[in-house]
Amino acid sequence: MTPTDAQAFIAQIQRERSIAVDQSPVRNMEQLLQVVSEDQVGRFSSAEQLVAGKPGIEALTLHATIELAWSDDFTAFARILDELRKRAEFEVKRLKTKRESGRGLTDAESKDLEQSQKNAAFDAKARQALSLLAEVHLHNAGVVVDQALLQFPNDPMTYRVAAYLSLLSREWPDFDTAMSWFADSETKDAGLVYLRALEALNRRRVPAAATALFREALRLDPKMVRAQAKLVLSEEGIDATYREFEKLRADAPKHPMVSLLGPSITSDYELSASFRQALATQPPPASLGTGVPVQPAAAP
């Protein structure tokens, strides 16, 4: 799959699901800052055009921030899809094992098997597309951050985007160096708290700590939609994941996690609820245990 293929696949999903993406033009800096704060991904391209190629530290760092947020969002979407894929594949295996054992499937279970197979295939392809696009935007961001480091090596604004870049790139020594510029202020800054939350999730692999930090970022800036979206990723278990997804849908109904991934997240939640209901009425043989998979660790 090429980046062009990935973009075409995402566009196909939007057409098939009649997803209306807000792509209204960004005309001034106030709108640009709102777009970034509210994670209006559909308007990122227009926002980028407002600052791309313009001189000055503000233009450079805003340009970098847009590319980084793009990459960050697509990476998060891909990771959520990967977790959904794993759950769907587990359900497919469980139901096929039951069918092959001679016990047969109920009509409801047959429908669950068919839906889980569709979910697993979609999740795998969508994950591949989004991961590829995330890499493209991360590369673009790196080019802009390098310009900021070259032109403004003593400006703290440079190191905000340098920290974000090194975090997404998993270059931990560079991340530590960049964050050292903000040792006295990071706990009071929603954006920096957000970066620490991502660090807890991606570097330290402590989802509970990441969840607490994402909530703190939201306390400092209740309009930081990206932090609410990350709670869908950091919470453990389908019930908690779905609860945070519902909050995101209420706060930002046009967010791409809602429009693009919403059907998959909802389907996974409903299938999980159906499975647990079946367990409550007819427990599986002891050899199969509860049938509930252990929550996978965060991707390295």
Q: What is the CATH number of the domain that holds 140?
A: 1.25.40
What's the pLDDT at 275? 66
Range of the domain at 74: 26-99+106-282
| CA–CA distance, 30 with 215 (Å, rounded to integer) | 25
pLDDT at 191 over 80: yes
Domains identified in the chain, total number: 1
Query: What tokens does 99 get?
Result: 């069918």
| CA–CA distance, 296 with 84 (Å, rounded to integer) | 11
Helix axes 3-16, 107-151, angle to 10 degrees: 130
Higher-pLDDT residue of 252 and 292 is 252
pLDDT at 290 over 50: no
What's the pLDDT at 278? 64
- 18 lies in a domain? no
Residues 249, 258: contact at Cβ < 8 Å? yes
- 271 lies in a domain? yes
What's the pLDDT at 297? 46
| CA–CA distance, 139 with 105 (Å, rounded to integer) | 48
- 21 lies in a domain? no
pLDDT at 280 over 80: no
Closest to 202 measured CA to CA, from 239, 233, 181, 177: 233
Q: What tens digit of pLDDT does each residue of 64-100 get?
A: 999 999 999 999 889 888 888 888 898 899 889 888 8
Q: What tens digit of pLDDT does each residue of 124-158 get?
A: 999 999 999 999 999 999 999 999 999 999 999 99
Q: What tens digit of pLDDT does each residue of 198-222 get?
A: 999 999 999 999 999 999 999 999 9
What's the pLDDT at 131? 95
**Residue pointed to by tokens 């002891």:** 286
- 117 lies in a domain? yes
pTM: 0.82
- 65 lies in a domain? yes
pLDDT at 33 over 70: yes
pLDDT at 296 over 50: no
Cβ atoms < 10 Å from Cβ of 257? 25
- 297 lies in a domain? no
- Counting residues of the chain whose pLDDT is more than 90, the rounded percentage is 52
- 254 lies in a domain? yes
pLDDT at 122 over 70: yes
Higher-pLDDT residue of 33 and 263 is 33
Query: What tokens does 41 get?
Result: 């991904």
- 14 lies in a domain? no
